[in-house]
Amino acid sequence: MKTAKKIIAVLLACITLFAGLSVMAFAQGGTQLKFNSDGQFKIMIFADNQDNEDIEETTTQIMTEALAKYTPDLVVFLGDNTVSASYETHYTAIEALLAPTIKAGVPFALVFGNHDQEGVNGDKEALLEMYQEIGGELCLTTDAAPEIYGCGNSNVTIFSSDGKNTAFNLWFFDTGSTLVLEDGSRDGYDYIREDQVKWYEETETALKAANGGKTVPSIVFQHIIVPDVYKAIYSVELPFETDGYTYEGVTYLPVPSFSKYNGIIIEPCSPSYYNKAGQFDAWVEHGDVIAMFCGHDHQNDFQTVYQGIGINNVSTVGGSAYHDDISRGVGLVTLDESDLSTYEYEMIYMFDLALEEGSQISEVEGGRSKFYYRVVKWFRKFINGVHWVITLGKAT
């Protein structure tokens, strides 16, 4: 009997080890991330650079100065990273985008947006290879499950500061591009597919099993926001259907309820009209996701919480595609391993960086005067103040 028990114990140990190794094997490429000795881990987010090989000098300067000031442990490129006409020029555009991060020696991960694939006939696999080749060991993104929809769906784990266990997990999903229907017509943006959600569910379950049955808390990064945002912050339902703003049969007035978010929403959120796979519901059911971060709507810089999960839209870092100077900048997430049920998030605005002593943002091509950035800062404060008054202090 004792021998049988020993055999079962050895078998169970092997299964647990195998599950753990499997998760690690398809989790990431080079560098293993780890919380710092002070228990913190900082993630800097660059959204929607959406620029070609002649990257805006101000964009490079924003990234350089933000990296130097906040010294993140990881950079995430949140999609619509580059736009260009050919494989060759995409390569140069990616080199230009990655330059400040590589120079700072910071590991990075990425998701693709709806525009990245333009100019290469949708060949995101080739683009990912470029990131891996240019970034080398610093590039953590792999196409972890090439058989499922999209490219670059993956997860990256972060070890505890003592290196003993997996403390946190980062998910990366490809939200696709334009949705093309069977008859060739287009219908808004693509949607997260069932196989992507199934991959998430299976991988989360394996991570949990490898962590002794304890859920590994996580954050999601993807380019396009979840359709559930309409339920979260758009309160007024219309009694008729329109061409846009209809999600799962419900049409919303595209004006958000001011009391339901912090920050600013300049353009109506633009998720897919379809929610067939129930991605957000799967996060709620599994209970590991504490927040999601998305870009796509360049001028939106807001945070809300829905069903216990933070939904954060990071405004653009880029100066070439549409943007405004009251929200342009980079996102910064700070995790503390003493409590990973929560996180800190702030936008680092271009106007604040430009007003720092020694900043070169005003000096490079495309930069504006310090006086201009002071006026922009004042205007942003005024908008925040109005929001604060309207919502009786809820808004920051």
Contacting Fe ion within 244-273 (CB under 5 A): none
- Give the shortest CB-82-to-Fe ion separation in angstroms: 11
Q: In the complex, what is the shortest distance from the CB of residue 112 to Fe ion, in angstroms, rounded to a whole number?
A: 11
Q: Which residue is nearest to Fe ion (CB)?
A: 80
Q: How far is the CB of 218 from Fe ion (least distance, A)?
A: 24
Among 28, 35, 43, 48, binds Fe ion (CB under 5 A): 48
Residue 48 or 73: the one with the smaller Cβ distance to Fe ion is: 48
**190 in contact with Fe ion (CB under 5 A):** no
- CA distances (Å), origin 250, targets 114, 238, 258, 273, 300: 24, 8, 20, 10, 23
**Least distance from C-beta 374 to Fe ion, angstroms?**
28
Stretch that binds Fe ion, among 72-80, 92-100, 203-211, 227-235 (CB under 5 A): 72-80
**Spatial separation of the C-alpha atoms in residues 328 and 335, rounded to whole Å:** 23
Q: What is the 3-state secondary structure (H, E, C) of the chain?
A: CHHHHHHHHHHHHHHHHHHHHHHHHCCCCCCCEECCCCCEEEEEEECCCCECCCCCHHHHHHHHHHHHHHCCCEEEECCCCECCCCHHHHHHHHHHHHHHHHHHCCCEEECCCCCCCCCCCCCHHHHHHHHHHHHHHHECCCCCCCCCCCCCCEEEEEECCCCCCEEEEEEEECCCCEEECCCCCEEEECCCCHHHHHHHHHHHHHHHHHCCCCCCCEEEEECCCCCCHHHHHCCCEECCCCCCCEECCEEECCCCCHHHCEEECCCCCCCCCCCCCCHHHHHHHHCCEEEEEECCCCCCEEEEEECCEEEEECCCCCCCCCCCCCCCEEEEEEEECCCCCCCEEEEEEHHHHHCCCCCCCCCCCCCCCHHHHHHHHHHHHHHHHHHHHHCCCCCC
CB of 51 to Fe ion, least distance (A): 10
CB 47 → Fe ion: shortest distance, Å?
8
- Give the residue with the Cβ less far from Fe ion, 169 or 316: 316
Nearer to Fe ion, 53 or 80 (CB): 80
CB closer to Fe ion out of 47 and 140: 47
Residue 50 or 64: the one with the smaller Cβ distance to Fe ion is: 50
Q: Which of positions 74-103 make contact with Fe ion (CB under 5 A)?
A: 80
Output 41 or 112, the one with its CB closest to Fe ion.
112
Amino acid identity for residue 129 in this structure: E
Residue 19, classified by CB atoms within 10 Å of its CB into exposed (0-12), middle (13-18) or buried (19+), is middle
Q: Which is nearer to Fe ion, 90 or 377 (CB)?
A: 90
Least separation in angstroms between residue 113's CB and Fe ion is 5
Which CB sits closer to Fe ion, 218 or 222? 222
Segment interacting with Fe ion (CB under 5 A) among 49-57, 191-199, 240-248, 264-272: 49-57
Name the residue nearer to Fe ion (CB basis): 77 or 200: 77
Number of residues in contact with Fe ion under rule CB under 5 A: 3
Residues that bind Fe ion (CB under 5 A): 48, 50, 80
